[in-house]
Structure 1
Amino acid sequence: MASVVAGLGSALPPSVTQQEMWEGFFARHYSGSARAVAERIFAHSGVTRRQAAVNPVLEDVSDWSTERRMRRYLVEALPLGKEAVSRALTDAGLDAAELGLFAVCSCTGYATPGLDILLARDLGMADTTQRLMVGHMGCYAALPGLAAVSDFVTARGRPALLLCAELTSLHIQPAPARTDTQQIVSHALFSDAAVAVALRPGEAGGYAVREVAAVTDTSTSELMTWEVTDAGFRMGLSPQVPQVLSTHVRRMVEGLLARHGLRLPDVDGWAVHPGGPRILDVVQRELELPDVALAASRGVLDEHGNCSSPTVLLILDRLLRAPAPPQWVVMLAFGPGLTLYGALLQRSA
C-alpha cells in the first residue's frame, strides 16, 4: 500500500518587502564597511518580500530573552498552525478525527504542551491520535517528517498529517552579534510560514510518496549550526556550505532515481529548498537543470524568503497547483549535519 499526498494547506503572517525591512530596521544598525556589506547581502539575497509574525520594523525583539521569545512563539504559531492544518484537511477531504498520526516540525520554538497537543485539542483530533514532534532539524525537517507520516500511512492504513511551522522572526540577534556576516546572511534570508500536508493510504487521488532518502556528511557538521542562546537561537552559516552540497547532491539524487528506474531527464517537477541563491545555483549546475526546473524554487525564495522547514512544501504546493502538474517530483532540502534529504513523488491516477 502506498501513501498519497492528498492535501496541502498554508498560512502566512503579514508580509513585508525586503527594502522595507532594510530601511525600517537593519540599515540603522550598521555603519561604515559593515553597512556596505550588509546592504549588498540584502540586495542580492534573492528575496523581494517575506513574512514576519514579529516584524522588526514594528517591534524589536532583539533584546528579548529566550524565555520571552518562546512565550511569544506559542501566541503566534498556534493560529498559523490551525489555519494551515484546517486548509490541508479540507483540501484532502478529511476530518481531524480521522487522523491516525499528527506530526509537527519546528526548530524555532519549544513548549510543553506544544503545538501537537494544543492543535490536536483545538481541531478535534481523536484522543487516540498519535503525535510526533520533530525539533531542531532545521530547513530539511519537512522531509524526515514526510517520511514518518508516509511510513505510518503505509504501515497502518490510516490518514496522517504533517505540519511544519517556523517563526524565524523571533530570533533576530542583539547588536553585538548582528554585525557578524553569517548573521547578516540569515537576517537577509529568513521568513515565517506554516504549511501542512495530509496523506491518505492508497494509490489514487494525489501524489504517491515513493521514497525518502538522506545523506549526511558529519565531517562538516560545524558549517551550519543553530545554537540556543540566552537571546534566542543563533544561526551559524558558513560560506562553504554550497561547496559541500556540490560534492553530494548529484550522487544522492541519481541514486534515488535509479532505485525507481529513472534518470534526471525523467523528472519534470523540482522542489528544491532555496537556502539562498548560491544553493540553488549549485543544485542547478550539478544536476544540469534548465532554468525552468528551478523557477518554482526561485519564485518562492523571491516572494516568501527562506521559511526553514515549510519552504520546500510551499514549492511543492506551487508545483502541484500548476496548470500542468508534473508526473514525477523530486524534493530536496538541506540543513545541519551537513544533511541532504530527498523525496521522490509520483502523480497517481
Structure 2
Amino acid sequence: MAVPVIAGLGTAQPPAAAQNELWEGFFSRHFSGPTRALAERIFANSGVDRRQAAVNPLLEDVSDWPTERRMRRYQVEALPLGKEAVGRALTAAGLDAGDVGLFVVCSCTGYATPGLDILLARDLCMAPDTQRMFVGHMGCYAALPGLGAAGDFVTARGRPALLLCAELTSLHIQPASARMDTQQIVSHALFSDAAVAVVLVPGASPANALSTVGPVGGGWQVREVTSITDTSTADHMTWDVTDTGFRMGLSPKVPQVLSTHVRALVDDLLARHGASVAEVDGWAVHPGGPRILNVVERELALPPAALAASRGVLAEHGNCSSPTVLLILDRLLRAAVPPRRIVMLAFGPGLTLYAALLDRI
C-alpha cells in the first residue's frame, strides 16, 4: 500500500509591512476613543513584527468596501499568489502539473465560481481528469484535513496529489468604530496573507519515494492525520459573512479549551505509532496568538526551544490562517538539521483541534 510522502513544498507571499508601520500609518487612526489605547497594547503584545498583505491598508483602505467588491479583488490577488506557490512546490517535487491526480484547495477568505481550483488547473495545464476538491470556511486548521484528504487519495490511487492553502485576510479589515470590540482588534493585530502548496507522492519506503526533491530533502511520510472537535464551544470562534467582508469572532476562552484537549490528542496520536512526546524533535504549532503557543508549550511540557519555529513564523508572517502551519513546516524542513519526527497542530472553529504526524524517510 502506498504511503503518502511530502515531496515538495512551495510558498508565496505578497509584500510585507512592519507591525509598527501598520499601527502608526493606519490602525492608530482606525481606532478611536478609549478603544485606541487598548488596540495599541494588543498590537504591541501580538508577537508579530511584520506581516504580508496583498491589499496593504497603508496604500489602500478597503475597510468600507462591500463584500462583492472584496470578492472580486480576491480573485485578482489570489490567482497569481496560488500559481507561484504551486509552481514552486511542483518544481521541488520534480513533477509537472499534468502529473497531479488530485488538487485540493483550502481558503476561507474568498469565494467565486469558477474558483481557484478550476482557474489554476486551467492556467497550469493540469490534466482534464485531475480531480479537484475545495475546502472552504474551515479556517486556520484547514491545511491538515486538506493534507489528510490528499494523503488518502495518494494511498488509494497511487498517484500524486497537490494541496494549496491560500488566504487573503487583508481583504477583511472591518470599518472603523470607536466601540469596536476586542475580538476585532485582536484579529486586526494578527492576521496576514500567504499561499503555500504541498505535493504528496506515493512511497511505501525510501527506496520508491522521490530521492531528490529540492529543499525538502528525501521527503516526509504522512503517518496519520487526526482531530477532535468540542462542539460545546462552537460559539468561541466564528467567521461571519457580512455586508462589509468577513468578520472574525474570537473568544478569550479559546486557550482554555485547547488546554483541555491538546495533551490527550497528541498522546493518543503518538501512542498509535509507538512514540511519545519526548521522541518528537519537530513541532509545527499554529500560532493563533502568543497565548495559544504558551498553552501548548505548557500542556505538552515542551522545552522553550521546541516552538521556536512557530514563534518565528508568527513574528515574521503573522497569522495567515490555513497556510500558517505549512509555513512553519517549511521552516522546519529547511533547517540545517531537519527533524526526524514532526507533529503538526492547528486549531479553528468548532472548536476543532487537528494533528498530523510526519516521519522523515
Q: Provide the TM-score with structure 1 as the length reference.
A: 0.99
- Distance between the aligned counterparts of 1:7 and 1:322, measured in 2? 15
Determine the structure 1 residue equivalent to 2:72: 71
| CA deviation after TM superposition for structure 1 residue 181, in Å | 0.6
Q: Supply the AA of the counterpart residue of 1:343.
A: A
RMSD: 0.8
Matched, 1:136 2:149: no
> What CA deviation, in whole Å up to 9, does each residue of 1:87-144 have, x standing for no partner?
0000000100000000000000000000000000000100000000000000000000
Checking the alignment, whether the CA contact within 8 Å between 1:178 and 1:184 is kept in structure 2 is no
Determine the structure 2 residue equivalent to 1:52: 53
Determine the structure 1 residue equivalent to 2:324: 311
- Distance between the aligned counterparts of 1:207 and 1:117, measured in 2? 28
Pairing 1:152-301 to 2, within 5 Å after superposition: 152-176=153-177, 179-202=180-203, 203-204=205-206, 205-301=218-314
How many residues get paired? 348
- Distance between the aligned counterparts of 1:298 and 1:264, measured in 2? 19
Query: In percent, how many aligned pairs have the same letter?
Result: 78
Structure 1: runs of 5+ lacking an equivalent: none
Checking the alignment, whether the CA contact within 8 Å between 2:35 and 2:179 is kept in structure 1 is no
> What CA deviation, in whole Å up to 9, does each residue of 1:255-294 have, x standing for no partner?
0000000010000000000000000000000000011110
- Structure 1 window deviating more from structure 2 (135-144 vs 178-187): it is 178-187
| CA deviation after TM superposition for structure 1 residue 30, in Å | 2.4
- Distance between the aligned counterparts of 2:176 and 2:30, measured in 1? 7
**Do the aligned partners of residues 66 and 88 (structure 1) sit closer, same or farther apart at CA in structure 2, a change above 3 Å counting?**
same
- Distance between the aligned counterparts of 1:32 and 1:320, measured in 2? 45
**Do the aligned partners of residues 129 and 209 (structure 1) sit closer, same or farther apart at CA in structure 2, a change above 3 Å counting?**
same
| CA deviation after TM superposition for structure 1 residue 175, in Å | 1.6
- Distance between the aligned counterparts of 1:69 and 1:33, measured in 2? 29
| CA deviation after TM superposition for structure 1 residue 29, in Å | 2.3
Structure 2: runs of 5+ lacking an equivalent: 207-217
- Distance between the aligned counterparts of 1:310 and 1:15, measured in 2? 16
Checking the alignment, whether the CA contact within 8 Å between 1:177 and 1:183 is kept in structure 2 is no
> What CA deviation, in whole Å up to 9, does each residue of 1:63-97 have, x standing for no partner?
10100000000000000000000000000001000
- Distance between the aligned counterparts of 1:306 and 1:126, measured in 2? 34
Pairing 1:60-99 to 2, within 5 Å after superposition: 60-99=61-100
Determine the structure 2 residue equivalent to 1:26: 27
| CA deviation after TM superposition for structure 1 residue 176, in Å | 3.3
- Distance between the aligned counterparts of 2:30 and 2:335, measured in 1? 41
Matched, 1:323 2:336: yes
Pairing 1:93-132 to 2, within 5 Å after superposition: 93-132=94-133
Secondary structure of 2:127's counterpart equals coil
Structure 1 runs (4+) greater than 6 angstroms displaced: none
Q: Supply the AA of the counterpart residue of 1:193.
A: A
Q: Supply the AA of the counterpart residue of 1:239.
A: P
Q: Supply the AA of the counterpart residue of 1:224.
A: M
Secondary structure of 1:179's counterpart equals coil
Determine the structure 2 residue equivalent to 1:9: 10
Checking the alignment, whether the CA contact within 8 Å between 1:101 and 1:149 is kept in structure 2 is yes
Determine the structure 1 residue equivalent to 2:351: 338
